[in-house]
Structure 1
Amino acid sequence: MTEDQLIKTLALQHVPKIGGTTAKKLIAHCGSAEAVFKEKKSNLLKIDGIGTLTIEGLHDKIHFEEAEKELTFIKANNIKYSYFLGEKYPERLKHCIDGPLILFEAGNINLKNKHIISIVGARKITTRGITFCEKLVEELAPYNPVIVSGFAYGTDITAHKAAIKNNLQTIGCLAHGLNQIYPKVHKKYMADVEKHGGFYTDFWSTDTFDRKNFLKRNRIIAGLSEATIVIESAEKGGSLVTADIANSYNRDVFAVPGRVTDSQSVGCNNLIKANQAHLLSTPLDVPYILGWELEDEVKPAVQKQLFVELEPDEKVVYNFLKDNNKELLDVIALNCNMPTYKLASVLLNMELKGVVRPLPGKLFEIV
């Protein structure tokens, strides 16, 4: 993307009534941000969902003036950026309709061929939550995942620190521009995060700090990842919003259960109860459900037994897979009339018996 193209795109982003989703719609119709500004108003109004109020002030010169100022900031601070149609733009985020038009970056982020998970949760994380989060990252380290979070208090910073401790890449998604940091007390962690990954944001340096920005930021956390893990949450909280967004993107969500009397477990328990999250009781549930495999693992040869005794539930699953070849976990659960949590245990036992094997994308097949 040339500087001129970037200015035009920033200018389009600056128009008050044109959000990321609408901007993408306009660009898809016209071909580029520059073409949007050149298109006749009458033609723009023919686009589905575009009304007079949407494009009001489209040609106001203030948008280009502010875009020029932001470009000056970007160049002066060596800010990296990626366009939603560009090669550098995160692949999973491309599939999110409300993903950022332009994503700003600081650090040394590399998402190529990586497992990416988001870890979110309560800002007032308990000692139990900290212990589980640290254990989770440590046990997932052999799979070399990228750990994404929001760089906020509690669960977020615990996840980032655990990733750094285990020499994993970590990404902090910010609710403000790259000219500031919140909370200020976390400034001491910035260098380590940038060394082991970096920061993403779609906010400008001129955007005022607003708590509503956190909710907008959460879509990036959910969109970057193949799965979102909620460590702890009260009955209401930002991490539940992130989980809801992840579900809307058809991504996996995991929640750590807790006692019904624990206030910081209510949100997680409700997610599990509403079948909106996998129950996460042990860190290795994550690679099992997601179908991860260790890159350099030398797996022992498993000789398939000629006569394997199967439990009644295992026979049901075996017969279904025999007739349908490989199939998704949720599809197996539906057709075998079995809850997902129970099916996961059944499949694990069958895998240990050498009868089935997991495939990437939560698929399973008979060996």
Structure 2
Amino acid sequence: MLHTELLHALALLKVDGIGDVVAKKLITHCGSAQDVFQSKKKALLAIDGVGEILYKKLQEKNVFQLAEKELLFVEKENISISYYLDQNYPERLKHCIDGPVVLFQSGNINFENRRMINIVGTRQITPYGTEFTKKLIADLAPLNPIIVSGFAYGVDIVAHQTAMENNLQTIGVLAHGLNQIYPKMHKKYMAKMEQNGGFMTEFWSTSNPDRENFIKRNRIVAGMCEATIVIESAEKGGSLITANLANDYNRDVFAVPGRITDKFSQGCNNLIKTQRAHLLNSAADLIYILNWDLSDKKVKPIQKQLFVSLTEEEQKIYDYLLTKEQEVMDIIALDCDFPIFKISSLLLNMELKGVIRPLPGKLFEAV
């Protein structure tokens, strides 16, 4: 993106009364951010929602001084900027009407991988939530997804750490400018995250981690991803806001069920009960609902294990397939006496373990 257009886009966002939605409307109507400022009064007033007050505010020059100052900071700190019309802007976020006009980024973020999910939840994660998060990401690792979260305490940081442990790209969406980090004790994770992934924010260097910013940034977390996964949540919480936003954006939402007596399972259980989230028991559930293709060339090769641990049900299917050269899923379910909804999950788990493989025509065979 040209420096001049970026300067005008930033200046436009500093005009009082103009947010992301109005800014996009003006840019679309006028042709560019620069043209918004250069358009004649009659042309601007003809745009629905633009009146005399907003027109006068567009004439103020101090917005360019603020934009210049931010650009100097960006250049000094080697921060990159994604403009919503650029190719390097998150593809799914382009389709969100309230998506940010600009995103500030640090690290080595690469959006070419189409598989992008966010993992959110309580800041007071329990051992149950920790164990599930780690297993989920480890099981998804062969499919090489990008793991997005908010870099907060609890579920967020466990998701980021586990992604790094599995050599997956991970992105922290921040509620403040890139001149600081919150919480401060997570600063120790920054360097490693920026090696394979990094940080993203819509907030300028003048922004602090105010409460309303955390709520606002949730739309980025939800909008840029294919799916939102809520690990643990109380009856009310920020992760539920993210889940609701994901539903509004027509994204898939998953929630991990828990005991009805557990405080940090109430939010997840309510999402499932009200049909605002798919029930998530394992990575196989997510893969099945998202229709991820395990034969995709982008999938990391799964190293064959010498000793693979199978459940009793999986062993039954595996032994059955050993007696058949190949068989379709419906017949496997019938002969092994499993309901069809269950056989799907079992077969996906076995694919991830590398003991069976899918073939054209919904056939499966033992490896």
Aligned residue for 1:117, secondary structure, equals strand
Q: How does 1:1-367 map to 2 (within 5 A)?
A: 1-294=1-294, 295=299, 303-304=326-327, 308=331, 344-345=341-342
Contact residue 17 and residue 55 of structure 1 kept, 8 A: no
Aligned to 1:332: none
What TM-score results when the alignment is normalised by the length of structure 2? 0.83
For residues 143-165 of structure 1, give each alpha carbon's deviation from its aligned partner in whole angstroms, at most 9, with x where no partner exists.
Answer: 11110000011110010000011
Q: 1:350 to 1:105 in 2, by over 3 A?
A: closer
Aligned to 2:314: none
Contact residue 256 and residue 281 of structure 1 kept, 8 A: yes
Aligned residue for 2:58, secondary structure, equals coil
Q: 1:197 to 1:216 in 2, by over 3 A?
A: same
Range with bigger deviation, 42-51 or 75-84? 42-51
Residue identity matched to 2:292: W
Per-residue deviation, 1:3? 1.5
Per-residue deviation, 1:55? 4.2
Structure 2 stretches of 5 or more lacking a match? 303-320, 350-356
**Hey, what's the Cα distance between the residues in 2 that align with 1:231 and 1:309?**
32
Residue identity matched to 2:205: S
Aligned to 1:330: none
**Hey, what's the Cα distance between the residues in 2 that align with 1:31 and 1:228?**
34
**Hey, what's the Cα distance between the residues in 2 that align with 1:66 and 1:33?**
16
**Hey, what's the Cα distance between the residues in 1 that align with 2:141 and 2:88?**
25
Aligned residue for 1:5, secondary structure, equals helix
Per-residue deviation, 1:113? 2.9
Contact residue 142 and residue 300 of structure 2 kept, 8 A: no
Residue identity matched to 2:127: T
Aligned residue for 2:148, secondary structure, equals strand
Per-residue deviation, 1:248? 0.9
Q: 1:304 to 1:247 in 2, by over 3 A?
A: same
For residues 259-278 of structure 1, give each alpha carbon's deviation from its aligned partner in whole angstroms, at most 9, with x where no partner exists.
Answer: 11111111111110110100
Residue identity matched to 1:2: L
Contact residue 168 and residue 196 of structure 1 kept, 8 A: yes
Residue identity matched to 2:144: N
**Hey, what's the Cα distance between the residues in 2 that align with 1:306 and 1:170?**
35
**Hey, what's the Cα distance between the residues in 2 that align with 1:131 and 1:350?**
23
For residues 172-191 of structure 1, give each alpha carbon's deviation from its aligned partner in whole angstroms, at most 9, with x where no partner exists.
Answer: 00000100000111111110
For residues 293-351 of structure 1, give each alpha carbon's deviation from its aligned partner in whole angstroms, at most 9, with x where no partner exists.
Answer: 333669x997346994977xx9xxxxxxxxxxxxxxxxxxxxxxxxxxx9844755899
**Hey, what's the Cα distance between the residues in 2 that align with 1:127 and 1:22?**
44
Range with bigger deviation, 280-289 or 81-90? 280-289
Aligned residue for 1:109, secondary structure, equals coil
Per-residue deviation, 1:4? 1.5
Residue identity matched to 1:11: A
For residues 64-85 of structure 1, give each alpha carbon's deviation from its aligned partner in whole angstroms, at most 9, with x where no partner exists.
Answer: 0100100110111111111100
**Hey, what's the Cα distance between the residues in 2 that align with 1:127 and 1:351?**
26
Per-residue deviation, 1:126? 1.0
For residues 97-127 of structure 1, give each alpha carbon's deviation from its aligned partner in whole angstroms, at most 9, with x where no partner exists.
Answer: 1111011110001121341110000011111
Per-residue deviation, 1:16? 2.0
Contact residue 17 and residue 53 of structure 1 kept, 8 A: no
Aligned residue for 2:220, secondary structure, equals helix
Residue identity matched to 1:261: T
Per-residue deviation, 1:287? 1.1
Structure 1 stretches of 5 or more lacking a match? 315-341, 360-364
Residue identity matched to 1:120: V
**Hey, what's the Cα distance between the residues in 2 that align with 1:234 and 1:344?**
29
Per-residue deviation, 1:30? 0.3
Contact residue 141 and residue 166 of structure 2 kept, 8 A: yes
Residue identity matched to 1:303: Q
**Hey, what's the Cα distance between the residues in 2 that align with 1:214 and 1:351?**
36
**Hey, what's the Cα distance between the residues in 2 that align with 1:288 and 1:302?**
24
**Hey, what's the Cα distance between the residues in 1 that align with 2:19 and 2:164?**
35
Aligned residue for 1:209, secondary structure, equals coil
Aligned residue for 1:182, secondary structure, equals coil
**Hey, what's the Cα distance between the residues in 1 that align with 2:153 and 2:252?**
24
**Hey, what's the Cα distance between the residues in 1 that align with 2:273 and 2:102?**
37
Q: 1:124 to 1:174 in 2, by over 3 A?
A: same
Contact residue 176 and residue 201 of structure 1 kept, 8 A: yes
Q: 1:71 to 1:256 in 2, by over 3 A?
A: same
Aligned residue for 2:254, secondary structure, equals strand
Contact residue 147 and residue 171 of structure 1 kept, 8 A: yes
Contact residue 285 and residue 345 of structure 2 kept, 8 A: no
Aligned residue for 1:94, secondary structure, equals helix
Contact residue 163 and residue 170 of structure 1 kept, 8 A: yes
Contact residue 114 and residue 144 of structure 1 kept, 8 A: no
